[in-house]
Structure 1
Amino acid sequence: MHMQIQRKTLAQEVADRLTEGIVNSEIVVGEKLPTEPELMKIYGVGRSSIREAIKILSIKGILDVQQGVGTFVVSNTIHESLESQMDKAQIEDVQEVRSLLDAKIAAKAAINRNDEQLKNIKTYLDQRNTLAEENKVSECYQADINFHVAIAEACGNILLQEIYTIASSHILRSFESRHNDTESFIVSQNIHHRLYLAIETQNAEEAAFIAQQIVDQVY
């Protein structure tokens, strides 16, 4: 799995802007939204994006569409998505979330992984090695993240996998500004290989132990 940073759709942008307006009480609960043509003018997007945005917000229970009458704001309590909460979090907090999960995920992956998932983990392990030796910094870091995310994908718990993947993509962004060589990856390749072997041999205890050493940078 390659983790692209998702580009927001226009509809999602409009939904976010509308949500801001509602949270900041520019549009109050009980009030009717402007008509579609007005919204198209306000946000400078086409009708389909406006409709899609309204659909997104009505699914979330923020808007209520009444056929032939109009669209009303029915709630201003908005639960932020995990993704946007992580966007605002300090990178140390995101890193902590990831490191708390690492050992647990490795243990579960050792038990639950299938052959294809194992092959995936190995592919990224090998990529990590090659790129480290070629001193390709950001590609090597991406391979490292893909390696850990592939382990998360093998753990058999969709929610753990989801949280871990989101956290990893945020860490990637912060990393890119801080490192200029792959020395640390070369040093830690061996312990990552040992983590792979523990998962291959389905040794959950060993996998958890090694994953924790990686988190604590005890190589």
Structure 2
Amino acid sequence: MQIQRKTLAQEVADRLIEGIINNDYPVGEKLPTEPELMKIYGVGRSSIREAIKILSIKGVLNVHQGLGTFVVSKNMQESLESQMDKAQIEDVQEVRSLLDSKIAAKAATNRSEDQLKNIKNYLDLRNTFAEENKILECYQADINFHIAIAEACGNILLKEIYKVASSHILRSFESRHNDTESFKISQAIHNSLYLAIQNRDAKNAAIIAQQIVDQIY
């Protein structure tokens, strides 16, 4: 599997956690404002907002609209990733399958040209590895294709949940040793999904994504 580097938002979240643990930001107190945090950590507004979302999900921060962001706990709730570690692969697969059509539709609406190129790159790699019968590389390219779509959907929470679920599914694939015939068969419908996203056809993208989930191809 590829090693993923931390985003700026995750690095800011880690620094905020350190500050909370060290009582730089005591429980019950309000965090500095967004402009102040941008100056403290030397990052843009989007990174600060995403970091706050990460820590809100983990039960550390609570955002009160119009009042500010407050520290509510030093103890992070069990992360989504650790919960998925304990889950059955079938449950993880179900989570991913429930998200696919929604993510594909949003990606068709929100994707950028660079994101579209990234999706196409993994689609082509998927085909190349399938033709060369490189099973693990093909699985990785397939997962990366779907993650690239999730990254283009424009919803941070959907993207993060999908990425965690997909990484766990890949781990189950790594113990399998068979051929890539199913990937060759499904390449055409994956290409159709790409074209729907390219054409900003959200309705068709959702339908095709669900067909891939249901293995109707």
Please classify the TM superposition score into its range, dividing by the shorter chain length.
Answer: 0.5 to 0.7
Structure with larger Rg: 1
Which residue in 1 is equivalent to 2:42?
A: none
Which residue in 1 is equivalent to 2:211?
A: 213
- 3-state SS of the aligned residue for 1:135? coil
Per-residue deviation at 1:161? 0.3
Root mean square deviation, CA, Å: 2.7
Question: Which structure 2 residues correspond to residues 147-162 of structure 1 after superposition, within 5 A?
Answer: 147-162=145-160
Residue 57 of structure 2 corresponds to residue 94 of structure 1: no
Per-residue deviation at 1:180? 1.4
Separation in 2, partners of 1:168, 1:3: 13
> In structure 2, do the counterparts of structure 1 residues 58 and 121 end up closer, same or farther at CA, with 3 Å as the change threshold?
same
Which residue in 1 is equivalent to 2:108?
A: 110
Separation in 2, partners of 1:200, 1:80: 37
Per-residue deviation at 1:201? 0.4
Which residue in 2 is equivalent to 1:58?
A: 21
Q: 1:5·1:169 contact (CA, 8 Å) conserved in 2?
A: no
Q: 2:20·2:74 contact (CA, 8 Å) conserved in 1?
A: no
- 3-state SS of the aligned residue for 1:156? coil
Question: Which structure 2 residues correspond to residues 118-137 of structure 1 after superposition, within 5 A?
Answer: 118-137=116-135
Separation in 2, partners of 1:196, 1:134: 22
Which residue in 1 is equivalent to 2:81?
A: 83
Is there any run of 5+ residues in structure 1 with no aligned partner, and where?
A: 7-51, 65-74
Per-residue deviation at 1:178? 2.4
Letter in 2 for 1:124: Y
Give the fraction of aligned pairs with identical amino acids, expressed as a percent.
72
Greater than 3 Å deviation, 4+ residue runs? 54-57, 75-78
Match 1:172 to one of 170, 173, 177: 170
Which residue in 2 is equivalent to 1:4?
A: 3
Deviations 1:64-117 (A, max 9, x none): 9xxxxxxxxxx8976201111111111111101100000000000000001000
Is there any run of 5+ residues in structure 2 with no aligned partner, and where?
A: 6-14, 28-72
Q: Number of matched residues? A: 162
> In structure 2, do the counterparts of structure 1 residues 77 and 118 end up closer, same or farther at CA, with 3 Å as the change threshold?
closer
Letter in 2 for 1:151: I
Separation in 2, partners of 1:123, 1:5: 18
Per-residue deviation at 1:179? 3.9
TM-score by length of 1: 0.67
> In structure 2, do the counterparts of structure 1 residues 183 and 57 end up closer, same or farther at CA, with 3 Å as the change threshold?
farther
TM-score by length of 2: 0.68
- 3-state SS of the aligned residue for 1:143? helix
Deviations 1:16-59 (A, max 9, x none): xxxxxxxxxxxxxxxxxxxxxxxxxxxxxxxxxxxx9x948827
